[in-house]
Amino acid sequence: MTKLEEQIEDYLRYIQLERGLSNNTVLAYRQDLLEFLTYLTENEFKTWPTQATDIDAFLAYEKDQGKASSSISRLISSLRKFYQWMARQNIQKLNPMIEIDPPKKERHLPVALSVNEMERLLEQPDVDTKLGIRDRAMLETLYATGMRVSELTNLTEDNIHLDLKLIRVLGKGSKERLVPISDLALKWLETYNEKVRDELILKSGKYNDYVFLNGRGGKLTRQAVWQLIKKYCLLAQIDKDVTPHTLRHTFATHLLENGADLRVVQEILGHSDISTTQIYTNLTQKHIIEVYRQTHPRN
């Protein structure tokens, strides 16, 4: 075992025994540090690099090998902590990691359903059944308001203002916002309230103020909502990767595609920073290009 390998093993023993890190975390550090050591050996380094340019060369090599930004970030974090430990142990005082910045996080475009896919999804619940009516009302509400699933499951009866066609939503950080809701979604909410909700409460024998209830009359959980959405996506033959935010993304994308102002969408979604909302403009730009190609006579 070389001296550099021994130092890595000493560090791994330290983080496991003295800092109490889990086996999985220690294995991750081991993988990162041995990867670094392999690179150094192949490039004939005899000691740990002290120049930031050498670290940058290693990170560039890893990126060329196809490493994702998240993996590069983890490598940087592992090396930073390792160099800090070496400085405390008087193994090496010069720390090149102080000059290394983590890579910018990649922002993946959210998946959104097309209008046709959304319509197919909405039609999947069997509205001849009580729970089918509840599920249709739930899907219509999500698509009509763009609210988060956690906001939907925490929605209470006094949050819905039928006369004003508004819903009061309690968002992140307990911030309240008023969100408009469509006539169609309101119709399904009223149908659910009249035909289903009271029966579910009677079944539980205990009143609660939450709008959407499970089959036993208790509060519907976030996990249950997304299991239902996955089920209905399967029935609708939607093969996109539907995540907990897909209907929220779809809501925002469809509004912007139809000419909604970005600031208005920001307010409805409850984003504190407009840059969070601007990610949807990339999706609508794609839509604009597709429409142009389909409709321009010279294409």
Residue in 13, 172, 175, 231 annotated catalytic: 172
Whether 271 sits among the annotated catalytic residues: the reply is yes
Residue in 30, 67, 203, 245 annotated catalytic: 245
CA torsion sign for 187, 277, 221, 129 is positive
Whether 130 sits among the annotated catalytic residues: the reply is no
Residue in 134, 197, 248, 249 annotated catalytic: 248
Whether 249 sits among the annotated catalytic residues: the reply is no
Residue in 148, 197, 249, 254 annotated catalytic: 148
Q: Render the burial of 258-296: b for 16+ CB within 10 Å, e for the rest.
A: eeeebeebbebbbbeeeeebeebeebbeebeeeeeeeee
**CA 298 → CA 288, 289, 291, distances in Å?**
16, 14, 13
Find tokens 């739930």 and name the residue. Answer: 138
CA torsion sign for 87, 91, 94, 97 is negative
CA distance 114 to 278: 19
Residue in 11, 83, 210, 280 annotated catalytic: 280
Whether 298 sits among the annotated catalytic residues: the reply is no
Whether 280 sits among the annotated catalytic residues: the reply is yes
Whether 108 sits among the annotated catalytic residues: the reply is no
Positions marked active-site: 148, 172, 245, 248, 271, 280
